[in-house]
A and B are shown apart, each in its own frame.
Chain A
Amino acid sequence: MDNNTEWKCMKCGERLVPRKVVFDYMGRSFSEDFPCCPKCGLVLVPPEMAEGRMADVEQMLEDK
């Protein structure tokens, strides 16, 4: 997948916009801007986030 791929919501056909999304893991919550469908709110987690910063935070909490 190209990092610059421009995704559209499959349901609404809308281009995604950054929105604050809350994540939960092991009793902790974090919020961060993620691309979302402006209409239905569907959240997209890009691979570089899942395997980068999110994985780091997961590791950090699991290390505790």
Chain B
Amino acid sequence: MQQEQAYAFTSKCFTGDMAPCSYACPFRMDIRSVLVKAAKGRWNSAYREMRTALVFPAAATALCGEYCAGSCLRKEHGGALSMLALERAIAALAKDKTPQNYAIPPKDEKIAVIGAGPAGLSCALSLAQKGFRVTVFEKESDIGGALRKRADFAVLREDMLLQLSVCVFDLRLSSQIKNAAELEGFDAVYIATGAGGESFGFNEQSGKFFPGGELSGASPAEGIAMGARASLAIEQYLQTGSYTRYLEPPHGERCGRYVPVTAADEREKIPCPDGGYSADEAKAEAGRCLQCDCTLCMSACEMLKKHKKTPLKISTDVHMDSLVRPPFTTCSITRQTYSCNDCGYCSSICPEDTDIGGLLRFSRADRLKGGRYPAAFHDYWLREMDFAAGQAAFFSPPPEKDSCEYAFFPGCRLGASVPEHLLRSYEYLLEEYSAGLMLGCCGAPAWWAGDDERFEANIGRIRLGWEALGRPKLIYACESCKKTLSAALPEIELISLYSLLEVKEKAPLFESAAVFDPCSAREDGETKAAVRSLAAASGIAVSDFDNGGRCCGYGGQMRLADPKLYSEITENRAGMAAEPYIVWCSNCREVFAARGKPCAHILDAVFSLEPGRVPTLSEKKENLIAVKKELMKKYWNASFEAEKAPWQDIKVSLGEGVQDKMEELLLSLDEVKQAIYAAETEKTAFVSDSGEMLCRHIGKAVVVWVNCAKRGDEYAVSNVYCHRMHFREGGAEDSNG
């Protein structure tokens, strides 16, 4: 994975970037940070932060044009922050103003600064603090430059001398430089001779000469800021011979990209008395700062909230994980990579289209290719997909036809979850649209797992089947199928089942209900409206609830990656509306029904069906085969027998709690039977004197253990457990993994 590939998903994110006020400030002061401290009354700390940015706090404050106020997002919410009054209050309230001294070893390079105004001294101070040998030449008999004309100069001078007191440099007053030749012995020269001052012919940087301050057109305040920037440019020039631009502050293109403040209180600006803010007033005013930063995705998504990583940090970690070579280095973002619902909600609310779901899916695909992935997280779903797209698949034109204009693509979940949903829908579509049938899976499980090879192979099968049916319009029942197929097979015209159905018999399942749309239908307003019409036509009073495109929790099949998070998300979604839910995604129905939330599928309302319980994993597979059998027999007069695994006829009874545990761990009855079969045929099991058996099935991702006892011709299972580690048996070379 290239670094650029990981950052492409999040490059425009500005979370953690400077706030608009800081971009407007010539000093790029971190105003948010200063105000957090001030709001807590930490005056010394606020002052230190302020001084670091302003260099000469008294002079900078005196010259400040309060540019930040124009960018303050409080403008419309009680008035922009009174930053200037706050700066003065912080300076007045701070007790410890001792300048910081850094023990940096002296350097050999000699630097001349021409002009002892605030701009020249700002540069001289920064360079001298870094250990350079600085000489300041001033033609007048005092420091201060243009500031000397001010009435408050004595106060500003005192503050400048205080800040300068920590470093050593050679200040030569009444010492005028007349030509550049006099500066031969210096390695670099900063020329800050003020507005209309002597430039020695250097209006732009040239070799070791760096003009700056008001001489270069800066305002007095900008001159101070520029002096500090120029010191960095000079340092870089001395080290490398090149330098970064210093005449303009860092670009502020990101300024103004902050999301509109929607939840701001309307606290009014605290008026500043003539004598300045008191401590309490300053605290209250600083406390009005909104601490502008975009945390839209991180505060909306449970997964992002839990892991507390910014989108850019996620990109960094994803890229770093792609370079990991176990056992020498370890990953850092595995759990999060597999905990995403891939629902696109974060992207839908991001003003810059940051796509964390896309990034994490990209990472899963990369990890799978590199073999650095926890196989257990998606193993069950992939096996289920293979079954739905394999044995349970069936593509056919309508009975007695060779091709069709329409074909029904119900997806892998509709018939698995409630066979009647599929059977009744197809009956309707055959009668009304002479629709053909394409039983299979769109491949979403492979997409979520990052298994691109499996995904493409499945798409290839769908394309072939679709072409064989005469390239019909596909009627889909699942919005995830629509999302997947429209991206992978854009040549196929897709129509929602729910836009074609009609309610023939009014039998309301609920008096009133809220429609919980699938997340993949976020942009599909037409189908959302069609579903509401169907619910209303069945006699249900539909509320105006809209889930805003949230995922029920099923998306991304992240359940095993983080069961606690899955539980939190499903609980939150179940509680979004008090009314029962009408859903139109089989996964949403199962998620909510499993939580005990009253809910029904829209097809229950359309066909007057009683909402059923959630089938077990094994029942879902059986349902898929049963539906295929029934349809083939009913409409094509054909028979079908599913492949029979050698362990299929083993009789098993599950003890108390075992079924629930299997559902939680996503262990199927098939795996239990395989363990018993291995014991029967290969004797790879353990027995106790009392006749108990401990059988095992070593799967690709999980090792399943079955505790049972044979009672007649049946195995009574008392416990099932599993682990994801694989052991080496019979020597280090013979790994069962």
Q: Chain A interface (Cβ within 8 Å of chain B)?
A: 1, 5-11, 16, 21-30, 34, 40-45, 47, 50-51, 54-55, 57-58, 61-64
Contacts and interface: CB of A to CB of B under 8 A. Distances in A.
Contact of A26 (B326, B687, B689, B703): B326
B339 to A, nearest CB: 10
Contact of A1 (B334, B561, B687, B707): B707
A58 B563 CA distance: 14
Contacts of A11: 682-684
B688 interface: yes
Nearest to B734: A41
A62 B692 contact: no
Interface in B160-216: none
Contacts of A16: 686
Interface string B291-310: 00000000000000000000
A22 B685 contact: no
Given A28-B327, A63-B334, A54 B723 contact: yes
B730 interface: yes
Contacts of A30: 725
A63 B562 CA distance: 10
B146 interface: no
A58 B723 contact: yes
A41 B724 CA distance: 20
A58 B725 contact: yes
Interface in B526-568: 561
Contacts of A63: 334-335
Nearest to B724: A58
23 contacts: A1-B694, A1-B718, A7-B694, A8-B686, A11-B683, A11-B684, A23-B725, A23-B728, A24-B735, A28-B327, A41-B731, A42-B686, A43-B727, A43-B729, A47-B707, A47-B721, A50-B723, A54-B723, A57-B725, A58-B724, A58-B725, A62-B335, A64-B334
Interface in B683-716: 683-690, 692-694, 696, 703, 705, 707
A8 B723 CA distance: 21
A62 B561 contact: yes
Contacts of A8: 686-689
Interface in B626-685: 679, 682-685
B722 interface: yes
A10 B684 CA distance: 7
B726 interface: yes
A44 B705 CA distance: 9
B573 interface: no
Contacts of A61: 330, 334, 374
Given A1-B718, A10-B687, A62-B561, A41 B730 contact: yes
Contacts of B84: none
Given A10-B683, A10-B687, A24 B723 contact: no
A12 B216 CA distance: 92
B308 to A, nearest CB: 14
Contacts of A42: 684, 686, 729
Contacts of B731: 41
Contact of A50 (B718, B721, B732, B735): B721
A48 to B, nearest CB: 9
Nearest to B735: A24
Nearest to B687: A10
B561 A25 contact: no
Nearest to A55: B723
A24 B737 contact: yes
Interface of B: 326-327, 330-332, 334-335, 338, 371-374, 561, 679, 682-690, 692-694, 696, 703, 705, 707, 718-719, 721-732, 735, 737
A7 B727 contact: no
Contacts of A64: 330-332, 334
B687 A29 contact: no
Contact of A47 (B374, B705, B725, B732): B705
A10 B686 contact: yes
A28 B724 contact: no
A47 B719 contact: yes
A24 B725 contact: yes
Given A10-B679, A50-B705, A64-B332, A22 B728 contact: yes
A51 B705 CA distance: 11
Contacts of B732: 22
Contact of A6 (B327, B338, B374, B689): B689
Contacts of A26: 326, 331, 334, 372-374
Given A27-B327, A42-B729, A62 B334 contact: yes
A62 B374 contact: yes
B36 to A, nearest CB: 31
A7 B703 contact: no
A19 B705 CA distance: 19
With most chain A CB atoms within 10 A of its CB, the pick from B338, B685, B686 is: B686
A45 B720 CA distance: 12
With most chain A CB atoms within 10 A of its CB, the pick from B689, B694, B718, B723 is: B723
A43 B589 CA distance: 42
Contacts of B689: 6, 8
A6 B679 CA distance: 17
B331 A25 contact: no
B728 A45 contact: no
B650 to A, nearest CB: 16
Contacts of A43: 727, 729
Contacts of A34: 727
A11 B737 CA distance: 22
A50 B326 contact: no
Given A5-B688, A8-B688, 12 more contacts: A1-B694, A5-B690, A7-B688, A8-B686, A9-B686, A11-B682, A23-B727, A43-B729, A50-B721, A62-B334, A63-B335, A64-B334
Contacts of A23: 725-728
Contact of A44 (B327, B372, B686, B730): B686
Give 3 closest A-B pairs by Cβ, nearest first: A27-B326, A11-B683, A7-B686
Contacts of B326: 26-28
A30 B727 CA distance: 9
Nearest to A54: B723
A24 B726 contact: yes
A40 B719 CA distance: 25
